[in-house]
Structure 1
Amino acid sequence: VEDQAENTALKQIEEKKYFEKYLGKYEEVYLIGIEFSKKDRNIVDFQWKAV
């Protein structure tokens, strides 16, 4: 949610390593970070990264 610094969604996924349990199971793993704005009630940032 937008009250935090930018790019926090993808950073949180990487720091907490939510993706690790999928690394051996699938050929490709993508991290997807989507940030929302409480004020605008809409998506304000979208990032993805292949692991």
Structure 2
Amino acid sequence: MPTSARLVTYPAAEPRAVAAQPVVVEQRRWALTLMLLVVVTAGAARIAARRS
């Protein structure tokens, strides 16, 4: 008795590992941007406080 193609089940493909490197680089870039923004804002606030 031949088996039809519809009844044949194939094993599930194993999930592929995704490279996390681009995500890490992007997170590091955003962290540096945020730190720079905080430092510049603090410096601007100090200058504004001195002048007033």
Which TM-score tier does this pair reach, normalised by the shorter chain? under 0.3
User: TM-score, with normalisation over the residues of structure 1?
Assistant: 0.21
> For the pair shown, which has the larger CA radius of gyration, 1 or 2?
2
More strand by share: 1
Larger RCO: 1 or 2 (CA < 8 Å, sep 6+) = 1
